[in-house]
Homo-oligomer: A and B are copies of this chain.
């Protein structure tokens, strides 16, 4: 396990689906920031299941408590403990799963790595693990907003092969994103996506998608070459999320087909600073923010847990049929939107503080 992230804004997450709760410790939050649970709860609410008929109907309130690090409504500069209690603790009702590893899930690799078959251990590979990140990242978002006015907005840009049309990342708001249950801000496409998810759900199947994200007003100069380049941090962050299979920034894979003369972003004066005419770079040059908006995309595979019958083998290699009981998310990407945003904030705030250390 490596459940710590960050150099100066350090987050340590904990918790499984079972047990008392999930949460995080945030070490390195600046002192004297106004902070209460109300700053954190909204992103947890956007993350939680049961928000619409597109997600699992499990109802989890996911109320966060601040355990430490805040007094009289302000941060002390000491570690902030964050806890979200599990509502429903039933270790042991994962009968079948303890015998048969779910295909494309982590049951088998957790067994090999940790030598146990505990569903809760597998539970650490579930989406519930992300609660600690979201809570810690919501604080990071507040810091970024307060000190640099940074805006981070993610949205669903595709589900299956249904693609969001043109979106202006310079103007997009979270309100626009949340206007539809799919979190696709293109009204013409959003309902088509929802229909796709419903069809998949009714077929006891699942489907993947892509989440895009923009970070606006990030000052030039953030990112720590060579190993902690801004895009390297984002790539690690995104690929550490459950169910992710790909990351691209700026022109991404499509950019590999361009000529340098097409791809290069020519500099222009923008006020007191330089900017670029185009932004194929996605807001980073040499691993350092350029002042242009940071733009990246993350690929989420279809959810592994499906109701459809699957012919697989048990832990001993004997043939077995797996049919997930209950109702699961047929598509994770709408709920992934706040997770991508808060995880992005964790990357940015750490690089911000590291850059701040240079201002001697």
Establish whether residues A354 and B8, one from each chain, have CB atoms under 8 Å apart when the complex forms. yes
Copies of this chain, count = 4
Per-residue 0/1 for A51-89: is the Cβ within 8 Å of any B Cβ (1 yes, 0 no)?
A: 000000000000001111111101011111101000000
- Residues of chain A in range 240-291 having any CB-CB distance to chain B below 8 Å: 240, 242, 244-253, 255-269, 274, 276, 280-282, 284-291
- A40-48, A170-178, A179-187, A221-229: which lies at the B interface? A221-229
Q: Is A220 an interface residue (CB 8 A)?
A: yes
* Contact A72/B91 with A78-B14, A310-B266 known, Cβ cut-off 8 Å: yes
A-B contact sample (12 more), CB < 8 A, given A8-B8, A246-B247: A1-B225, A13-B25, A13-B226, A78-B120, A101-B267, A108-B290, A158-B257, A208-B258, A245-B255, A253-B297, A263-B301, A267-B312
For the complex, count residues of A whose C-beta is within 8 A of B. Answer: 157
**Candidate in A158, A226, A234 with the most chain B CB atoms within 10 angstroms:** A226
Establish whether residues A313 and B268, one from each chain, have CB atoms under 8 Å apart when the complex forms. yes
State in angstroms the CA–CA spacing of A4 and B242 once bound together: 25
Q: In the complex, how many angstroms separate the beta carbon of A21 from the nearest chain B beta carbon?
A: 5
State in angstroms the CA–CA spacing of A235 and B266 once bound together: 28
Q: Is A357 an interface residue (CB 8 A)?
A: yes
State in angstroms the CA–CA spacing of A300 and B70 once bound together: 30
Establish whether residues A286 and B109, one from each chain, have CB atoms under 8 Å apart when the complex forms. yes
Q: Is A125 an interface residue (CB 8 A)?
A: yes
Of B14, B234, B303, the contact of A81 (CB 8 Å cutoff): B14
Of B10, B207, B235, B264, the contact of A239 (CB 8 Å cutoff): B235
